[in-house]
Amino acid sequence: MKILDRFLGKVLRKQWPPELVEKYVGNYRQTYLAYATDESFRVNAASGGSVTSLLAYLLQIGQIDGALVCRTRVEENKVRAEFFIAKTVEELKSAQGSKYISVFFASQATPLIRKFNGRLAVVGLPCDIDILTRGCQDNMELKEKVILKIALFCGGNSEPILTERILRRLNHENHNLTDFRFKIGHWHGNLRASFDNGQIITKPFSCFSDYRNLYFFCQRKCHYCHDHTGYFSDISAGDIWSFRMKEHPIKHNSLITRSELGDQIVQNALSEKILTGHTEPINEICEGQARTLPTHYNVTARSRLGWIAGEKIKDTVHARVRWNEYIVAAMVLFNERFSRSKMGQKIIFKMPRQVWKLYLYFYKMMESL
């Protein structure tokens, strides 16, 4: 398997000239591969625990008074995501892990930021950081309060119905849900659901991600977005899916620093052994997101085919579109619209997952060309 991974890594490797990097990544100062040195920060992390470890470090040295983060909560047996301001390490740890479920930054997070009295770090999706950046431009008090913005790589978010349908499959005995984690563990990781009878069900993350990666139940606003890595952040963080990293026993984070402050924080964390890692060429970071970077950026293809999803999508990037990118965009738009209908939802969950997996392989092949 290792030999096959190395072979595929070489055969499928793409070229990343500066003009592509500028489009997909934006301005940056330095790029790193890193993970939290303290193993306790990696236990429930989606990747290497770097973001939680950095925030804990900043709290402990008094550089921030709190961090706006997102956690999942269980409400009437349903999983929801909520923003809150963490002021302790334990509160930060409670927010670890990916949340593939819709949030509304402007209405849910911005009021928390405005009310908070102190210096804040803010963690959000690229679209959240964009909203925050524009808010800071119009409000000096907000700008002075938010001293650090961390963006999480994002390939699109999902409506709650996807999580609810997956949970319905797991909870055959109708026990009350007490905790839910979308993704923990190495490489693709596992999904974990805990119930009030003490039962903990762990399944491969693919039982959720196969549907998500095909854009079933995707938020419609994601069709309009081209920012995968968070252009307007101080630090961007995400997964690294390079074949060579699959062999490493500890999953790493990709870190992209964009401001002097962001880079200084990462360098200090590395020198003080808060993080373990090293600088990495930008093309390696791009290679770790080789399929999703071009797909996410290419609003042009989705704009020209927006009628498939019944959407008028404004072309904000005016990208060159190759034939396979039209196929990818058509699949994304059709799948999202199909999952909106009751008939579509019935078919999606009645169809054996092996069929969708084959469909997903075809989709990924089109992205990889």
pLDDT in tens, 46-86: 889 999 999 999 999 999 999 999 999 998 889 999 999 99
Average pLDDT over residues 6-24: 77
Cα distance between residue 17 and residue 71, in whole Å: 37
pLDDT tens, 175-210? 899 999 998 877 778 899 999 999 999 999 999 999
DSSP state of 46: S
Model confidence at 234, pLDDT cuts 50, 70, 90, reads very high
Cα distance between residue 183 and residue 163, in whole Å: 12
pLDDT of residue 243: 77
Average pLDDT over residues 14-42: 96
pLDDT tens, 105-163? 999 999 999 999 999 999 999 999 999 999 999 999 999 999 999 999 999 999 999 99
Q: How high is the mean pLDDT of the chain?
A: 93
CATH code assigned to 2-157+227-289 = 3.40.640
Under a CB-based contact definition with an 8 Å cutoff, are residues 263 and 150 in contact?
no
Q: How many CB atoms are located within 10 Å of the residue 29 CB?
A: 15
pLDDT of residue 174: 78
The tokens for 188 are 């693709």
Domain ranges of the chain: 2-157+227-289, 299-368
pLDDT of residue 7: 44
213 — phi, psi (to 5°)? -65, -20
Under a CB-based contact definition with an 8 Å cutoff, are residues 333 and 304 in contact?
no
**Residue bearing tokens 């990495």:** 280
